[in-house]
Each structure stands twice: as structure tokens, then as C-alpha cells.
Structure 1
């Protein structure tokens, strides 16, 4: 039995997110590009994948969704650098980006408040039992998260941190 794993050649698990992945706005000045990601060992029967990037340390009371991608085809095992660009042109056909907490259907880079302790960013890929989630294109991250968890066969994740002085 293989182990389901998610990695990034750009961000070390347990390490620090490089500055260029930072958001461009709200006082942050990164390139706002999503990192390359790759996964392997998905369970048999996976019919699609969902990918999330979440900051549980955001001072909102509910964390912060930086990226939410659903309906990634079952044969997908990686996402290229900047696959989270607006318009989804760099995602596999059929994949959809759910609105992040910046209000965009795209990657939204790290931008913790200056002076906060470094925030944790949890990158997770879910292997799903359905080929497509039955949610509207303008679904909230909460609704998408509910449906992802309802159909998740397995998940793999890693965490990295990022802070601003």
C-alpha cells in the first residue's frame, strides 16, 4: 500500500514560504504566484482531487482560505508554478477555482499582519470519490469544504510558515 503524499519543490514541508509567493496588496508586495505542487500514492477509486491552502492563524475567527481548487481530474498528479492564476488557464481542463478569502477565484498569496508570529499555511490535497463536486461556480469556501470532506477518500498535506516584520 502506497502512502498518499503532497510535496512542493518550491516550499519545504515544515519550512518557510519564500517571499515571492506573498500576496500583492494589503501592504504586501509579493508576486502572488502559486507554488508548484505534486502528489502521489492516491487511493484506488479516486475520481478527482481537490486542493486547498488554508491559514488557521489569520485573525478572523475562522482562518483564511488562500486557494481552493476542485474537480481536478483523477489523472492529475501535479500543478505547475502559478497554476492558480486568475482565469484557471494553467489548471487541468475541468478544474475550478473556488473564491478565496480575498474574493478572487485564484491563488491568494500569504499576507499575515506585520508583527504577528509567523502564520501556518496548510497545503492539502483530497482524493475524492466523485468526478465533480455538485456545487455552484460561486460556492463559498465553507460550502466547498463541506462537500470535499463529504466525498474525501483520503488526504495528504504539509505545513509551512510565513511572517512579516
Structure 2
């Protein structure tokens, strides 16, 4: 089908149904090697002019012990080339091994102050995990320590579109 620009920019996971429950192997509730691995993601219909993509994954129902709901960052990924169409399952921590087009991708620190994907056991289930994919007109230059805050500041004025996938756990 010819692209007339009307197709929606979207983010999906072959392993997570839209608004569906996140499978155990992507959390601390998985078993052995099938535990806390990053889920596969795919995207479609990038906005025209997209050079790189960035992903921010947050628990948007995380309670602050002192009061309000404060989103908790599970994963930050920047400088994903627009030429690739997704990230494979277990991508987190393997960008160097995969090499090629994946080599320039950088994972940022989550709110546990560790780089890469992390999805711990939850005290209560039913939290919403929001995967946000940002289409950008340039590469991000964030230095050695990439964080959600630095990423969101850097994408100001460079965002061509965003796509969201919601999951629950």
C-alpha cells in the first residue's frame, strides 16, 4: 500500500497485547535466564524526516512513599537509527554484541541508577507500564550518563511524533 501519510505512527510488541499484561519473563517474576529480559518492540509509519528514535518506559502508577504518584523509570534507550524497525527480545545490555546498526544505540539509567531494562516484582499488581517511542529529527548528544530527564530535555524541539504502548503488571 502506498504511504499517503495517513498511517498512524505506532509502537507494538509481539509479546504484549495492547493494554495487556506484561509476560513474566520481562519481570523479576520470571524464572532463571527467562527473567527481567527486555520485551521485543516494533514500530511502524515513522514520521517523515525521522533520523533517530528514543524510548522511555515508566510505571505511571508508582506511588511515592511520601505521597503522590510519581512515574518510575524502567528503561531509557536513545539514538536508535530510523533504519531499524524494532528491538529484539533481550536487547537490553546486548547492543555491543548485536553490533551493526545496533552499535550506536545507548541505554540510559533507570530509576534504580542502573543502565538497561529492569522490571521488578511489584507489591501490588495492576500498575500501568507506559512505553513511549519518540521520533526525532536528530541524534541526541547526552554524554556518558543518559537519564530520562536528560532525554526529555534534549528532545524538546526535535520531536516529529510519539507513539505509546500500554501494558499492565
What is the TM-score when the length of structure 2 is the normalising length?
A: 0.83
1:90/1:54 CA distance change after superposition, 3 Å: farther
Give 3-state SS (helix, strand or coil) of 2:97's partner. coil
Confirm whether residue 57 of structure 1 aligns to residue 67 of structure 2: no
Q: Over aligned residues, Cα RMSD in angstroms?
A: 2.0
Bigger fraction of residues in strand: 1
Q: Give distance in 2, aligned partners of 1:54 and 1:64.
A: 5
Larger radius of gyration: 2
- 5+ long unaligned stretches in structure 2: none
The residue that corresponds to 2:140 in the other structure is 133
What is the TM-score when the length of structure 1 is the normalising length?
A: 0.85
Q: Give distance in 2, aligned partners of 1:88 and 1:141.
A: 21
Number of matched pairs: 155
Q: What pairs with 1:4-153 in structure 2 (closer than 5 Å)?
A: 4-23=9-28, 31-60=35-64, 61-85=69-93, 89-90=97-98, 92-112=102-122, 114=123, 116-130=124-138, 132-153=139-160
Quote how far apart the aligned CAs of 1:142 are.
1.0
Quote how far apart the aligned CAs of 1:149 are.
4.1
- 5+ long unaligned stretches in structure 1: 25-29
Quote how far apart the aligned CAs of 1:135 are.
1.1
